[in-house]
Every structure is written in structure tokens, then in C-alpha cells.
Amino acid sequence: MRYISTRGDAPVLGFEEAMLTGLARDGGLYVPEDIPQLSEAEIADLAGRSYEEAAFRVMWPFLGGAFGEDQFRELIANAYGGFGHAARAPLVQLGPGHFLLELFHGPTLAFKDFAMQIIGQMFEAALSRSGSRVTIVGATSGDTGSAAIEAFRGLDAVDVFILYPHGRISEVQRRQMTTPSEANVHALAVDGDFDDCQALVKAMFNDFAFRDAVALAGVNSINWGRVLAQVVYYFTAAVSLGAPGRVVDFTVPTGNFGDIFAGYIAKRMGLPVGRLIVATNRNDILHRTLQNGAYVKEGVHPTISPSMDIQVSSNFERALFDAYGRDGRAVAQQMEALVAEGGFEVSQGAIGVLREHYASGRVSEEETSAQIALSLETTGELLCPHSAVGVAVAERYLRREAPMVTLATAHPAKFPDAVEAATGVRPPLPARMADLYEREERVTRVANDLQAVEEIVRDRVGLVA
């Protein structure tokens, strides 16, 4: 199994190297050279299996022997054993033909746990085999960071630095990142927005001297392993609704495009996915692009669904790569235009390909709050604001020919202020986190400045600048 860069000019790697490398050295993202296929019979045979067994069968063909079969099964068991629901990703019916896929039963109450828990296991196994260590640097709008810290806290072979936008995430999200006391965890509050944090991370990867000195690794969805682990729940959800004998549509609250791209990979593997619907808040670059064919940056607007307050959507590059017939040069040119001019026109051919797979909708702040209230009233389901964005958009796309699954990406208790403002109900944290507000916080405030962040990282990992 070989992994190639979306910009076509980086070394071709195996699964383990691609996972540990993060961003490709040409600035692109790694993708599999070929997408493994599951036959109809293999998909049908997932019915009634445990989530862990489905995870093994879906992910295994991408690994190219990086781990042994028994070892990989054990890593999967460790990853999902601590989830708070036996089904791991249960489906709840919201109405005729509309289902909610609850992805918030992991340790940090967001869908990120599905990938981060297994990535943590794979990193640990790979690093203990090679005896090496890495420095993980990640950017977060709230959920990736807490899931990464949870997955990597206390590991000897890893330091984990998480950059979050100061003042732009919920208090629960912040505390999940600032209260772990392990010495290998470093929360950095950046004076900027999520796009600034993500740009800093990418700049660190593109600073080869720094990258090599600290053995930089990434756990944002630039890391292929993240996307891969998220493919699994598209299979479990669709199969429980009748796939492969039935087409299933999905609506995905979208920011960095990793989660919905995982749905596209499931489709490419043979799962009968109908429409993949991008649901955005006011930060609607993806919706605008699908509507008018131009990918143009605006400033990031703070919203009540802060984890989706993103304009430069990393994984859209992976989608473009396929839409341009896997022409790395074309993608590299567009990404250069994004940096130099703040945007680019997607070619007629490529936008046509994207529209074959993806549709989209945008939801205002008022509509998000109204949807949280309406869902509670009509279905008894208390939604987080991100999931509410998804449900509101999905309602516009319901059709008789296919059931719709909306991904519920976080637990409402992570965003209690927004949920309470919409419904009057303040969702409580699960008992195991009940003392979150009493724990001591540890955080370093840092300017939106590459040198300043690199200096902190070098210093903490024991390298003299």
C-alpha cells in the first residue's frame, strides 16, 4: 500500500511512515495511491458485527502490513474499549427517513475520539518498535486538541503541543486541554483564530530544519490515519440501514473537510453512499465554493458552533486532487494562489466532479439555535450546535429514495451556554468529568508568530535554540 502527496512532489511512503510524517514535504497531504475495494458480499457481512470488527475489516486493507493482524485487533480493542456506549456509534431515528449518528460517546465527547484513540495506539506501537520519539504539534478549534491530549497524555515517546485560538473555544473544550497534568502535554493559547493556528502548524512542517530537529508529527486530519479511522462509521451506519442493498445519504457538519472526506472514501471503497452534504455555519467557504466555483478566503467569524469556525479547509485539497484527476501540479498551483491571492477559481471540470459527490447548505446562528430547540421539542434529542447545523441542513435534503444520516459530532455538554440559551436546559457533563471546573489549568499564551511558537516547542523538548 503506497501513499502519495496531493502536490505530486514528495516521497512515496508506506502507511506507517505516512501516519508518522503528517504533512508531505511538498506541502501536500498524503492519500492512498489506490483505494481498496470492499465487495457487496464483504459489506453485507459487516451487518451485526461489533464496531471493532467493522473497524478491523475497513481499515486493514489500507495498512499494507504495518501491523500484524492480532496486534491490530488488539490496538482497536484498546482504542474503543473505553467508549461510553456499547455500539460506539449508535444511530437514533429523528423522523421519517432521518437518522442521527451519535459520535460523541468517546472520552472527550466528540467524533475526534474515533480517530484519535486508534491513532494514539498506532503511534505508541510504532514508536516503541523503532525506539524513536516524536513531537506532535496540532491546531484545534476545540475538539481535535482535547482528543489528541487524551490519546497521547503520559506517553514517554511523545510530546504533544496543541495550539488553540485564545478566547474562541468553549470553556469545557479549553479545560479539557489545560487541566491534564502530564508533563508531555502543552496547551498553547494563540492570539489569533483557528486558521492562524493551522497556518502555524503547516509552517512548522515546512520549516525543515525545525521539523527534523524536533521530529515533528501531526495529528490533525492532514494525517491520513485520522481520515481512515473516520471511514468506519459510514460503513456501520449505512449497513445498519440496509447497505449494500440500499443507498444512504449523509449530512456532515463541516469545517476542515476531514470527516466528510472520510464519507467520500467509504463511497470510493464501494459503499452505496448517495449524497454527501456539507453543512456549514456562517464560515461558509465550502458552501460558497460548491455554489459558485470559487474558493475565496474571508475572515473567520466566531459562532456558537466554534469548532467549525474555519475558512481554510485543509482536506478540501484531497477532494481537489481527485477532482483534478489526481494532477498534483494543478493542485499545487491552486494552493499557491490561495496563499498569494487569497483564493482561486476551481476549473469547470473539477467543480463538476465535486458536485457529483457533494451538495451543501449554510445555517445562520438564529437557525442553529432554533434547530436545537426544535429537535429537543420534537424528538427529545439535545443537540450540540454543530450537530444542529447538520440536522438543519439535512432537513432540506431529505428524499424518499434514500435514508439520511446526520452526523452528531459533539456532545451538547461541551457547549452548555449555547444549548442553554436555545432551550433553557443546561446539559450536565458525564460523572467522570464532573470536577472539570475545579481542576487546575496550565496554559501558555503565545503570539501568532512562528518563531515564538517554535521557540517554546524547542525549549520544552530540550533543544537549545
Ligand X SMILES: N[C@@H](CCOP(=O)(O)O)C(=O)O
Contact by Cβ (8 Å): 168, 415: no
Burial of 186 (0-12, 13-18, 19+ CB in 10 A): buried
Q: One symbol per residue from 418 to 437: x for binding ligand PLP (CB under 6 A), - otherwise; what is it?
A: --------------------
| DSSP H helices in 83-142 | 112-130
Nearest to 173 by CA among 307, 12, 337: 307
259 binds ligand PLP (CB under 6 A): yes
With respect to ligand PLP, which residue has the nearer C-beta, 121 or 254?
254
Q: Which stretch binds ligand X (CB under 6 A): 3-11, 143-151, 262-270, 326-334?
A: 143-151
Task: Look up residue 117 and give its three cell numbers.
Answer: 484513540
From 257, 316, 321, 358, residue interacting with ligand PLP (rule: CB under 6 A)? 257
Q: Residue 305 interacts with ligand X (CB under 6 A)?
A: no
35-39: Cβ within 8 A, 24+ apart = 35/265, 35/268, 35/269, 36/1, 36/61, 36/62, 36/269, 37/269, 37/270, 38/235, 38/269, 38/270, 38/271, 39/270
Should residue 255 be labelled a site residue for ligand PLP when binding is judged by CB under 6 A? yes
Binder among 253, 274, 328, 416 for ligand PLP (CB under 6 A)? 253
User: Rule CB under 6 A: is residue 256 a binding residue for ligand X?
Assistant: yes
* 258 binding ligand X? (CB under 6 A): yes
141 binds ligand X (CB under 6 A): yes
**What part of residues 184-223 is at the interface with ligand PLP (CB under 6 A)?**
221
Taking CB under 6 A as the rule, does residue 142 contact ligand X?
yes
| Residue 112 a catalytic site member | yes
Distance of closest approach, residue 269 Cβ to ligand X, in angstroms: 20
192 binds, among ligand PLP, ligand X, none (CB under 5 to 8 A by kind): none
Distance CA 62, CA 49 (A): 20
Q: First CA to last CA across the chain, in angstroms? A: 38
Measured CA to CA, the distance from residue 456 to residue 5 in angstroms comes to: 29
**b/e per residue 307-346 (b: at least 16 CB within 10 A):** bbbbbbbbbbbbbbbbbbeeebebbbebbeebeeeeebeb
DSSP-derived 3-state class of residue 158: strand
Q: How many residues bind ligand PLP (CB under 6 A)?
A: 16
Contact indicator for 393, 368 with CB cutoff of 8 Å: no
Q: Which of 13, 177, 308, 413 binds ligand PLP (CB under 6 A)?
A: 308
Collapse the DSSP code of 298 into the 3-class scheme (helix H, G, I; strand E, B; otherwise coil) and give the result: coil
Residue written as grid cell 461541551: 414
Q: Does 224 bind ligand PLP (CB under 6 A)?
A: no
- Ranges within 110-139 binding ligand PLP (CB under 6 A): 110
Nearer to ligand PLP, 67 or 194 (CB): 194
Taking CB under 6 A as the binding criterion, the range among 14-22, 43-51, 116-124, 250-258 that sits at the site for ligand PLP is 250-258
Task: Single out the residue of 170, 155, 177, 187 nearest to residue 453, CA to CA.
Answer: 187
Binding-residue pattern over the window 101 to 140 for ligand X, x denoting contact by CB under 6 A: ---------------------------------------x
> By the criterion CB under 6 A, which residues form the site for ligand X?
140-145, 220-221, 255-256, 258, 307, 314
> By the criterion CB under 6 A, which residues form the site for ligand PLP?
110, 143, 221, 253-260, 307-308, 386, 409-410
List residues with catalytic annotation.
112
